[in-house]
Amino acid sequence: MGSINPETIKYKPLHDEAEIKKRVQELGAQITEDLKGEGVVVVGVLKGAFMFTADLVRAIKAPVIVDFIGCASYSGTKSTGTVRITHDLSTDIAGKNVLLVEDIVDTGRTLDYLLRILSQRGPKSLRLCALLNKPEAREVPINVDYHGFSISNEFVIGYGLDLDQRYRELPFIAQVQT
Ligand code: IMP
């Protein structure tokens, strides 16, 4: 999206507040059922998943510890970019149920890296919940245990997702119109 001025874009709402709220409740209920009464460490991926994580933890009816992990892609393009941790967990996840919460699964490279890093720390279980899934963009196979909505291969903003750090605060998910 490099050539687009984030201040002058047009966007079209894709999923409104009510739809998101309903879907988050459904996800929370499914996750609660799958936990079978056990607790979970919910790990939100910064920054994009901050809003989804905040809503999702309130829909999970089980003992929850909330933590965040930050990561960044560096060295260029999506296809060759490597991922590194910019902010690590403060929780020891060994022996615990872990739910990784991400805004969107696009190529899958970020999650492929994060899931490998977290599984090396010996969690009891490790599941992934993504707000959005873009299956057409996948370059690395990822097992997405829970997802809010499947979308086509277009750029979206809002409800945590940004375009050059803008529009995270929108309470709905919108598609950027080019
Ligand atoms: P991946 O490693 O290609 O799966 O990309 C993951 C990251 O790219 C996400 O966590 C987002 O931060 C960002 N991203 C991918 N697609 C979009 C989009 O449509 N809107 C905003 N951010 C996106």
Residue nearest to atom 12 of ligand 1 (CA): 48
Is pTM beyond 0.85 here? Answer: yes
pLDDT of res. 67: 98
CA of 63 to the centre of ligand 1 (A): 29
Mean pLDDT in residue range 110-124: 97
Q: What are the tens digits of pLDDT across the range 129-177?
A: 999 999 999 999 999 999 999 999 999 999 999 999 999 999 999 999 9
Query: Is the beta carbon of 21 within 6 A of some atom in ligand 1?
Result: no
36 alpha carbon – ligand 1 mean position (Å): 31
Closest atom, ligand 1, to C-alpha of 83: 2
Q: Is the CB of 14 under 6 A from ligand 1?
A: no
Above 80 in pLDDT, residue 114?
yes
* Any atom of ligand 1 within 6 Å of the Cβ of 156: yes
* Per-residue pLDDT reduced to its tens digit, 36-85: 999 999 999 999 999 999 999 999 999 999 999 999 876 544 445 688 99
Q: Which residues touch 131 (CB under 8 Å, ≥6 apart)? A: 49, 52, 102, 103, 104, 147, 148, 149, 159, 160, 173
Residue 174 alpha carbon to ligand 1 centre in Å: 14
Give mean pLDDT, residues 79-94.
87
| Ligand 1 pocket check for 105: Cβ under 6 Å | yes
d(CA 132, CA 105): 6
Mutate to test the pocket of ligand 1, among 75, 104, 129 (most ligand atoms within 8 A of CB): 104
* Predicted pLDDT of residue 3: 67
Task: Please tell me the predicted confidence (pLDDT) of residue 1.
Answer: 55
Average pLDDT, the chain: 94
Kindly give the distance from the C-alpha atom of residue 52 to the centroid of ligand 1, in angstroms, as a whole number.
14
What confidence score (pLDDT) does residue 178 get?
Answer: 79
Structural domains for the chain: 10-177 (3.40.50.2020)
Residues forming the active site: 106
Predicted confidence at residue 77, as pLDDT, reads 40
d(CA 36, CA 151): 30
pLDDT band (50, 70, 90) for residue 5: confident
For the residues 100-122, what does the mean pLDDT come to?
97
